Amino acid sequence: METKVISNWSAFVDLCSSLDGWAFRGQQDARWHLQSSLSRYLLAYVSDRAEWPAREARAIRIFRRKAHNYLANPELLNDDLRCLSLMQHHGAPTRLLDFTKSPFVAAFFALERTTTDAAIFALNTPALWRNSARPKSAPMLTRDELDPRVKGNLEKYFLSNENEVIWFGEPSEMDGRLIAQSGTFVVPGVIDRPLHEILDGYESDAELLRKIVLPPVLRSDAMRWLYRMNITNASLFPDLDGLAKSIAVELEMVWPSLTFGS
């Protein structure tokens, strides 16, 4: 995985033009591995990794048994990827990793609350879509074959925690938050290894993953530009919680001092 340190916001904008069609994930600390909330939780609190598949399956089962009380359309729980998406949306640890098709949305999530080097991970989704990148351990497992939107595939290819593969995409029905964020999900087949290690096991002539480091020095300029682009918590989380969170950035924005190119 190539790592590139960006010195200023203009350089980041220029770099993004060369990554057309890729997917992006922003993380506020460049030292963090590219891991799901489920991976981080289990690594911290469940030492016996042999128990992980059963623990994850039980968590999904409990959510399905109880979430119908709060849903206008409980049938959504029958769709495996939609169910995981709901869990993720409301704060449950899942194996999903949130990515976005917008490098600028990823930059917002990386920089909004950071006080150190932040990072954006760029994933070559065009290569994975074309199946020009295949897992060496199971080259027959194409993106279509793995599709967790197909009934039974989540359990068959992912919950066993045995297939060193990834799939990316969205549920058949996208909620407002996913639409607002230009979001997509990456679903790893194993949860005890970070994403870059899984992709190291892929056969590909193309670069599959890049790490872009954003130093604190560019945060102020970047946040002003993102604000002008209407990339804020209020736009990315279209509800009252998003509006309330967006007020923090308003504390930084002093209109008379804003000048283009600053």
**Residue that has been written with the tokens 């990148």 in this structure:** 133
Strand partners for 132:
none
Q: Burial-class residue 255 by CB neighbours within 10 Å (0-12, 13-18, 19+).
A: exposed
Single out the residue of 222, 221, 186, 231 nearest to residue 25, CA to CA: 186
The 10s digit of each residue's pLDDT in 213-236 is 999 999 999 999 999 999 999 999
pTM for the model: 0.90
The 10s digit of each residue's pLDDT in 85-132 is 999 999 999 999 999 999 999 999 999 999 999 999 999 999 999 888
Whether 239 shows a pLDDT value over 60: the answer reads yes
Confidence of residue 262 (pLDDT cuts 50, 70, 90): very low
Q: Which two tokens stand for residue 17?
A: 């033009």
| Structural contact between residues 79 and 85, judged by C-beta atoms closer than 8 angstroms | no
∠ Cα 50 128 206 (to 5°): 110
